[in-house]
Amino acid sequence: MKTTLLALLVLLSALAPRVGAKTFQLETAGIRDIQDAVDAGALTYEKLVQLYLARIDAYDQKGPSLNSVITLNPEALSEARALDAEFKAKGRRSPLHGIPVLVKDNYDVVGMPNTGGSFLLAGNMPAQDAPMIRALRDAGAIMLAKVNLDEFAAGGHGFSSLGGQTHNPHDLTRVPAGSSGGTGAGLAAWFAPLGLGTDTGGSIRGPCSANGVVGIKPTNGLLSRSGIIPRVLTFDTGGPMGRTVYDVALSLGFMTGIDPNDPLTATSAGLFFKDYTGFLRKDALKGVRIGVIRDLNGSDPEVDRVFDAAVAELKSLGAVVIDPLHYPAVVLEGRTAVMDVVRGADIREQYAIYLATLKGDYPKTLSEMIERADAFTTPRGKMLPHPSLYNRFKVDNAGPPSTSLVYKSARVHGMAMVRDAVLGLIQDHQLDALVYPTFAKRPDRIDPEFRSKPRAPFSGTLTSIANVTQFPDVIVPAGLTTDKLPVTISFLGPAYSEPRLLAYAYAYEQAFPHRVSPATTPALPGETFTY
């Protein structure tokens, strides 16, 4: 009898949950969750990389075939093992120690090609890391993969001639938006907790919206543009993307600072921080005056419905909402006019500067790029032509030079005009930030014929205003449409207002955690464990 009772007690003890036990789930794991599991000895960085590589293997070219990854880092596992050994011997370099990162394939990363998604730059091996990459590596992060993008970061389809079409994991028939579509799709599918994108007119924010993840288009000048294939340098910036506001805020601080090779970063002197997580508060929206931009209201009733609910949620958190507001015509019309003038000269001249640094048989000018593209008319293996992009490049190639009066006027006076009009709206209503639906329409269906069609005008978003004004914009999930597609809201404020914008997004996310995982990429065995 005593033996039976003892055996029963042992069994009950084994079945009972351990006191203080934690459950690790890769699906919801942020950087702090990962590091907690490592500290407890329940996870290693090598095992973490293996879990993410298994997801890429299962879902990128197999299963739903998201097609987001162009190149895997062949040294990722060995780097993870070395970081495990370093952690045991010396401790953690930083909170980013051992954290895998998805890198848009227009950043220079030593050991992996930088192609811009184009057959023209296939095999291009950078000699050194871009400063943003170097900063993350110094912090102990692992560049896990280079991911697909719209070719040369031009467009919103998620297609490149080298990488092909990336699919939205929430609906495989839809685009992941662009140009950082591979980063957005990969983050949504849990291929890594962090990613890097670039943004010229909405190229971080569109993929965040379409894939339902967090991101920031920072103030232009906060982060170095060196070592990134330019798009339109005047409006370009890199920025972090992730699955939580905390993770995006954390990674941002490691990449700030003055870069002597990028003069624009000098404008951030005394205005950047190395740690933005200290600004994050759950009550950050209380008493804050938020202006609600309604210029694209009516574009999509489902997005309008989710956005209206998000505005109500902001009110419930104590925000003072000024609704509706509209940008003046000088902003809505001026942003397009300014970008149209600046684009051609920047593309033509900045591409030449970047291409001159490449070793090997690569084009050295925009004209050479166009010539080689014109000769590329049929598929070569996985490489597909993209004639509509290069037809647009022909228009850019014929634009006025940066020495012209029209260009200088657009950069000096046009950008200032748009910026001051936005600041005037903020000041007139005594606002702390503006909020708007990042994209006012659901992502488009994938059109297999779009490569041969004239490039459609960019519509359905106000994101380019942040590029012309150079202002920061923080994106956070806000809910789902009835067909299970993510909708995000954007918090926009004056230059270098990242601390408070991140705080607003964090407070909203903590109270209303709207991020959801796509049904096409479910959990795999081993991704959940108790310790």
Active site residues: 104, 179, 203
Of 526, 528, 449, 523, nearest to 63 by C-alpha is: 523
> What are the Cα distances from residue 290, in Å, to 354, 424, 490?
40, 15, 11
SS3 324: strand
What is the token pair recorded at 440? 């006012």
Helix (H) or strand (E) holding 443: none
Sheet holding 237-242, edge to edge: 69-72, 142-147, 100-104, 194-199, 237-242, 214-217, 473-480, 486-492, 433-437, 289-293, 320-325
Radius of gyration of the chain (CA): 23
- Looking at the DSSP bridge assignments, the partners of residue 294 are none
What is the token pair recorded at 474? 């923080």
- d(C-alpha 429, C-alpha 277), whole Å: 28
- Say if residue 131 is preceded by a cis peptide, omega within 30 of 0: no
- d(C-alpha 163, C-alpha 119), whole Å: 9
Where does 215-328 have alpha helices with state H? 245-255, 301-316
In contact, 311 and 435? CB cutoff 8 Å: yes
- End-to-end alpha carbon distance in the chain: 34
In contact, 190 and 521? CB cutoff 8 Å: yes
Pairing of strands 214-217, 237-242: antiparallel
- d(C-alpha 107, C-alpha 433), whole Å: 31
- d(C-alpha 79, C-alpha 45), whole Å: 9
- Say if residue 363 is preceded by a cis peptide, omega within 30 of 0: no
- Looking at the DSSP bridge assignments, the partners of residue 23 are 530
